[in-house]
Amino acid sequence: EVQLVESGGGLVQPGGSLRLSCTASGFTFSNYEMNWVRQAPGKGLEWVSLIGIGGSYIYYAESVKGRFTISRDNANNSLYLQMSSLRAEDTAVYYCARGADCTGGSCYSTYFDYWGQGTLVTVSS
Amino acid sequence: SYVLTQPPSVSVAPGQTARITCEGSNIGSESVHWYHQKPGQAPVLVVYDDSDRPSGIPERFSGSKSGNTAILTISRVEAGDEADYYCQVWDSSSDHWVFGGGTKLTVL
């Protein structure tokens, strides 16, 4: 069974930092692109970042570029999001989501078929 | 930046058909994916690649496209279908994933 479990959320002051983790199980983690998606309270979904299977390509939403860093540890089936210079508008539930299957070097199934339960990040003084 | 436009809300009576639209300037050439999200839960994929359904999603859910508009159709709507629905595409010009603003489906 595919599972994604986020952790690391919490209350942080504006300007502070936080590191989110997502632990994957039930599939070959190293074969899949991974994503972070967030949802501010009462708002819609906002894609945050994508990382390729070996970290060879990384993309960020403009709203977080230069402040957030996505990374992965394929040996430990883990995805990370290092967040710095946090702002009130970064307050959201952060989800990790499985993306494209890149087994064999070509990526397909480019949609988010599994999501974690989310972890809440609150930026407030 | 690429924008996907959805109606904020759609209401339908049980047993009727709900249609949720997603408009984007280049949507005709992109694969569209749809998710539903119930309160307090993570999103769930309901249609991928415009019109395919993941296993476990009822046949009542279908997707289509016409010009610059993608459509999620839910036939024989049930109370349990009440949720927020989001469309999604990959914007290859910016290498960004884009979500629509979401549509709240209310079952009357």
Express each pLDDT in B68-85 by its tens digit: 999 999 999 999 999 999
- Model confidence at A24: pLDDT above 80: yes
Residue-averaged pLDDT of chain B = 96
pLDDT of residue A97: 98
DSSP label at residue A1 = -
Q: Is the pLDDT of residue B90 over 90?
A: yes
The C-alpha atoms of residue B92 and residue A80 are separated, in whole angstroms, by 24
Residue in A61, A97, A111 closest to B48 by CB: A111
**Which of chain B's residues have a Cβ under 8 Å away from the Cβ of A22?**
none
Average the pLDDT over A66-73 and give the result: 98
* B104 confidence band (pLDDT: 50, 70, 90): very high
Which of B42, B84, B99 faces A46 most closely, judged by CB atoms?
A: B99
Q: Which chain B positions have a beta carbon within 8 Å of A94's beta carbon?
A: none
Asked if B99 lies within 8 A of A44 by C-beta distance, the reply is: yes
A55: Cα separation from own chain's centroid: 13
In the prediction, which pLDDT does A22 show?
98
* Interface residue ranges in chain B relative to chain A, Cβ cutoff 8 Å: 1, 31, 33, 35, 37, 42-45, 48-49, 54, 84, 86, 88, 90, 95-102
User: Hey, are the CB atoms on A59 and B48 less than 8 Å from each other?
Assistant: no
Site from B22, B97, B98, B103 to mutate, A interface, most A CB atoms within 10 angstroms = B97
Does A116 sit within 8 Å of B101, measured CB to CB? no
Report the C-alpha gap between A92 and A21 in whole angstroms.
15
Cβ–Cβ under 8 Å, residues B1 and B97: no
Q: Which of A44, A50, A111 sits opposite B101 (nearest CB)?
A: A44
Q: At residue B101, does pLDDT exceed 80? A: yes
In one-letter notation, the amino acid at residue A61 is: A
A3 touches chain B (CB under 8 A): no
Q: DSSP readout, B54-105?
A: -TTS-TTEEEEEETTEEEEEE-S--GGG-EEEEEEEEETTTTEEEE---EEE
8 Å CB contact of A59 and B96: yes
Q: Is the pLDDT of residue A108 over 80?
A: no
